[in-house]
Amino acid sequence: MKRFDFHILSLVTGIALFLFFLLFVDLSPKHPEVTRTMAVAILMALLWVTEAIPLPATALIPVVLFPFLGIMSGKKTASLYFNNVIFLFLGGFIMALAMEKWNLHRRIALKIILLIGSGYRRLLLGFMLATSFLSMWISNTATVMMMTPIAMAVISRLEEGKEQKRIRRFSIGLLLGIAYSASIGGIATLIGTPPNAIFVKIMGIYFPNIPEISFSSWFIFAMPISFTFFVFIWALLVFLYCPKEASSVDKSIFQKEYDRLGPMGYEEKVVAVLFSLLALMWLTRADIRIGSFIIHGWSSLFPDPKFIDDGTVAITVSLLLFFIPCQGKEWKTIMDWETAKGLPWGIILLFGGGFALAAGFKSSGLSLWMGKRFTQLSHMPLYLIIISICSGVSFLTEFASNTASAQVILPVMASLAKAINVSPFITMVPATISASCAFMLPVATPPNAIIFGTNRLSVWDMFKTGIFIDIMGVIIISFFSLLWFR
């Protein structure tokens, strides 16, 4: 079936299911808005999974349907599309654009690779470390797009030798390592991947009395998971793809690329300082509790620390980029609006659509209705519930974007937590992290698609490697979730 035909079929199916639910289904006779919200959710979920229309366009559906169907007012629905979580990402995106504009991200990547070493295993480790670190702060797509040409240059240099078969095998492992480390690096920070920020906002909608999930508290929890993933993936790729005998790779290609950047210019230094400042301010803003011991964050120096959140910090530092001038006679600043036009507004709309859908679940009573259906799961062992969540979401995100998967699944996980009377962290955190665990298919996530586009590996290469990581991912996420939240 042609892609065009598939889109038409998906669109017609989505609209048909939407109308069927509206006209012939009554989930809660006393509360018709429950059925209406379910109809909207089914329509959006199907359009998101199949991408029958652009994802951001699907995200705008609540703005139209919620007011007309009596689910939520237009004013309240619209307000959900711009909030503190959106500003957190906006600030992060602006900083990422500044890093890309002045080539700081490229310098960081090449320096890490040069420092790690030139053996095959070390080279793989260097590429994965650089990719993982950068994807904590800038989009995994941009990171992989930057790292892939460097990797291809290395592969081309290696192929000048005689052992073509061995190098071809290593090239598969190197490219897979770049794609996979981009996905796992984003897990570690709130701005590293969209599902993390979506989780924070949906948690706030459903559980407003839960203590704030700050940048530092998420990092403390998620970094060990990201690190464990990293070690396992590196070891697996070494076992499957790296030559067994010790040998080295010519470092001159990296040194030439690094030398081509020249010494750090004034603008690049400014971006490096502000980037470091932003990361430090994020990590130290909120209080950090270790048992009964509390390390007070810098926000406690202000009259009302709760007024300052991670979004405030992101905009504060990124806004400085528009004030600090570049060197030269002509008046220019480190960041200009022409560059800032590259902000991913589609992703921002996608966030808003997910937040609106989650709020609709709650205000209509659909979350309560779903919660009652989940009560029978309370008899299942907790570890089995978590494993089921991780497995289900990991499978879904192989076919749908991680953002769309999180938006559809997290409101359901919030309802499940209420129904079986457990901490929402038990159900929502595993689902959030699992949404970033798409390792088997090229269509699962942009990094996978980018490295598949090099024509250096087959779908089978990715599938047979990714399935091991998916299975291990379920174990890793389940273990840490039970360890932290049980």
| pLDDT by position in tens, the chain (length 486) | 455 577 788 899 999 999 999 999 888 888 899 999 999 989 988 888 777 888 889 889 999 999 999 999 999 999 989 888 788 878 888 888 888 889 888 888 788 778 877 778 888 998 899 899 888 887 787 788 778 878 887 777 777 665 677 788 888 999 999 999 998 998 998 888 888 988 988 898 888 888 878 888 888 889 999 999 999 999 999 999 887 765 566 677 778 888 888 899 999 999 999 988 988 888 788 777 665 667 788 888 888 888 888 888 889 999 999 999 998 768 889 999 998 888 888 878 887 888 888 788 888 888 778 777 766 677 788 889 899 889 888 887 776 677 777 887 888 888 888 888 888 999 999 999 998 888 887 767 778 878 887 788 887 888 889 999 999 999 999 999 888 877
Residue 180 token pair: 């996979």
DSSP 151: H
| Same-domain check for residues 122 and 29 | no
Residue 430 lies in a domain: no
Q: Which residue has the tokens 């190197």?
A: 174
Structural domain of 19: 1-72
| Same-domain check for residues 179 and 202 | yes
Cβ–Cβ < 8 Å for 198, 406: yes
| Same-domain check for residues 144 and 247 | yes
Q: Which three-class secondary structure state does DSSP give residue 295?
A: strand
| Same-domain check for residues 305 and 214 | yes
| Same-domain check for residues 65 and 188 | no
| Same-domain check for residues 48 and 174 | no
| Same-domain check for residues 284 and 143 | yes
| Same-domain check for residues 186 and 306 | yes
Residue 267 lies in a domain: yes
Mark which of 340, 364, 381 sits at the end of a domain: 340
| Number of structural domains the chain divides into | 2
DSSP 297: -
Q: Which residue has the tokens 């192989």?
A: 398
Which residues does 334 contact at the CB level (< 8 Å), separation at least 6?
A: 98, 102, 267, 270, 271, 321, 322, 324, 325, 326
CA gap 185, 193 in Å, rounded: 9
Q: What are phi and psi of 33, to 5 degrees?
A: -65, -20
Which residues does 301 contact at the CB level (< 8 Å), separation at least 6?
A: none
| Planar angle of CA 6, 141, 251, nearest 5 degrees | 135
Q: What is the pTM of this model?
A: 0.75
Mark which of 45, 72, 99 sits at the end of a domain: 72
Mark which of 271, 305, 340 sits at the end of a domain: 340
Residue 330 lies in a domain: yes
| Same-domain check for residues 242 and 327 | yes
Measured between alpha carbons, how far is residue 279 from residues 128, 216, 342 in Å?
Answer: 21, 10, 22
Residue 335 lies in a domain: yes
Residue 57 lies in a domain: yes
